[in-house]
Structure 1
C-alpha cells in the first residue's frame, strides 16, 4: 500500500543503512587499531585474558632485566677469574724456568713482578655496577701489631637473580642463588688479613699455623729463595707432627713454591667452575623467559588481533553496501514525488 504518512520502504532502507554504518564503524576501528578486541565492550572474556597476560609479560620483562644484570655480574667475575688463572699459570711457567739458573734469576723475577701487578689490575677491574666479586673484606684483618695472629674469616654472601617461579596465585617471583665470597673464591682480601687465594701466605702444615711462611702468590720473590729456605727449615723444627721435612737446596724451595702455586691455581679453577655453573643457569633462564614472552605475545595476538586481510575485504564490501543503501534510501524517498505527480495529472 502506498501512503503519504508512512514510507515503509524508506524506513527499511534507513534501518539497513544504520546497521551497515555500525558494522562499517567497527570494521574501520579494527583496521585502524589492528585489534578486534580493543576494549572490554568488544569481548569481555578475551579482553580480560589479554590484559592479564600482558601484565604477566611486563613482569617477565622485569625478570629478564634482573637476569641480565645478574648475568653481567657473573660474566664480569668469570672473565676476571679466567684472566687471573692464565696469569698465575704464566707465573708457574716462570718458576719452572728458574730451576738450574743459580743466582741469575733477576730477569725471571722482573717478569714475575709484572705478572703479579697484572693480577691486582685484573682484580681491581673486575667490577660491575659497583660490585667486585674478586676482592672484598673477607676477614677481620687480624692483629696489625702481631703478624703471627691469623685473621678470622668473615665471608660475604652475594645474591644474584638466577631464575623465576610462579606462586599459587600465578604471580611471578624471582629466585636468587647465593655466591659466597671467602678464602676459596676471592683473589684478594681487602681487610688486610691476607686470607684470599692470591694474598694468602703459604703454610706447610695446614693444621699448624706456626708453619706459615712469608710468601704468597702475589708477593713471592725468587731472589729470596735462601730466606725461604731458612723459613721452611725453621717451620719444620716447629712442627711437632713432623708433617714438614727439612730441605737443603733452593731447588727444593722452588718445588714447595710451585706446589703452593698449583694449589692456589686449583682453588681459582674451582671458583671459576662455580661461576660457570651460575652462568649456565642464568643463560638457560634468559632463553626460557624470552621464549615464554614470545609465546604469550602470540597467544594474546590470537585472542585479540584482527585478521587484516579479512577486515580489509569486509571494509570494501561494507563500503559498497553503504553506497547501495544510500541509493535504496534515495529511491524510497522518491515515492512521495510519484504520488504528487498523480494528483497533478
Structure 2
C-alpha cells in the first residue's frame, strides 16, 4: 500500500519522468524535421555519421575527376577540329598536285599551282600549331600524351598524342614539286599522308568516346554515392511528421497527468478538517 505523504509524491515524479522523455523525443523529431536529417552529427550515430562523411568526401572529390575529363574532351575536340582542317588541306594539296601533273600546262599555270600547293602546306603547319586548349595540343609539334584523372584515388586515363604536323604526316619538311613528273609522284605521297591523318584522327575519336563513356560513369557513380549517403542520414519526413503529431498529443497528456498527480496531495487536507 502506498504511503500518503506531502514530502514524496511518487505519481508526480513518474508523470514528470514520462513528460521529460516525451519532451526529449519531441526535440529530436523537431531537429530532424528542421534539418531533414536523422543523423546530423556524430552524437546521433557515430558509425553512420563517419560512414556518411567518408562517402560524401568521395562523391565531392569526383567533381575534380569530372573537371579533368571534361578538360580532356575539350582538348581532343580542338585537336579533331584541327584534324578536319588538315585533311581538307591535304585534299586540296592533292588537287593542286594532280593539276600540276598535266604536261600541257604552261609555266605560269604550273608555277601558280606550285605556289598554291606550298601555301596549303604552310597552312597545315599553322593549323597543327594553333590547335591548343589551355595551352596544350595533341597534334602540334610539341604534342605529348596527356594524363587525366579517372577516379577519386588518383588513377589516370591516358590520351596519346597524334602529331599532325607536316613531319608527323610522313611528309618532308618542305614537300613540293618542280615538274609535272614530280607533281605526279607527289599525288601518292599526299594520299599516304591523308591515310596517316585519318588513322590518327580515328585514334583521337576513340579516345574521345572513351572519355565520354567514363565521364558518364563518373556522373552515375557520384549520384549513387550521394543517394547512398542520403539513405544513411536523411530523415523520412512523412514518418517524422506523423511522430511529431503523436508526441505533441502525448506531451499534452503528460502535462495533464502531472497536474493531476500534483493535485492528489490536496486530498490529504480533508483528513484534518
Distance 1:4 1:320 in 2: 30
Deviations 1:99-131 (A, max 9, x none): 546123566567656644543443243111111
Q: 1:130 aligns with which of 126, 135, 150?
A: 135
Q: Is the 8 A contact 2:36 2:235 kept in 1?
A: yes
The aligned counterpart of 1:323 is 252
Q: 1:43 aligns with which of 38, 42, 45?
A: 45
Distance 1:326 1:113 in 2: 98
2:150 match: secondary structure: strand
The aligned counterpart of 1:277 is 206
The structure richer in helix per residue is 2
Distance 2:171 2:253 in 1: 91
Unpaired segments ≥5 residues, structure 2: none
Distance 1:105 1:323 in 2: 104
Distance 2:250 2:117 in 1: 89
The aligned counterpart of 1:187 is 165
Distance 1:267 1:49 in 2: 52
Distance 1:198 1:117 in 2: 15
Distance 1:98 1:17, change over 3 A: same
Q: 1:309 aligns with which of 238, 243, 246?
A: 238
5 Å-filtered alignment, 1:277-296, equals 277-296=206-225
Distance 1:313 1:109 in 2: 86
5 Å-filtered alignment, 1:60-79, equals 60-79=62-81
Distance 1:136 1:73 in 2: 15
Where does structure 1 differ by over 4 angstroms across 4 or more consecutive aligned residues? 97-101, 105-118
1:136 match: secondary structure: coil
Q: 1:102 aligns with which of 102, 105, 112?
A: 105
1:4 match: secondary structure: coil
Distance 1:325 1:105 in 2: 107
Does the alignment pair 1:172 with 2:150? no
Distance 2:183 2:118 in 1: 16
5 Å-filtered alignment, 1:155-170, equals 157-161=144-148, 163-164=150-151
Deviations 1:255-306 (A, max 9, x none): 2121111111111112112212221221221111111111111222212211
Distance 1:157 1:114 in 2: 27
Q: Is the 8 A contact 1:70 1:162 kept in 2?
A: no
Deviation at 1:14, TM superposition (A): 0.7
Give the TM-score taking structure 2 as reference length.
0.84
| Higher relative contact order, structure no. (Cα contacts within 8 Å, ≥ 6 residues apart) | 2
The structure richer in strand per residue is 1
Distance 1:307 1:84 in 2: 59
Deviation at 1:26, TM superposition (A): 0.9
Unpaired segments ≥5 residues, structure 1: 138-155, 165-170, 189-194, 202-214, 230-249
Distance 1:327 1:84, change over 3 A: same
Distance 1:162 1:29, change over 3 A: closer
Deviations 1:30-71 (A, max 9, x none): 111111112222222222222221222233222222222222
The aligned counterpart of 2:26 is 24
Distance 2:99 2:239 in 1: 79
Distance 1:198 1:116, change over 3 A: farther
- Paired residues in the alignment total 268
Q: 2:190 aligns with which of 213, 238, 261?
A: 261
Give the TM-score taking structure 1 as reference length.
0.68
Q: Is the 8 A contact 1:63 1:174 kept in 2?
A: no
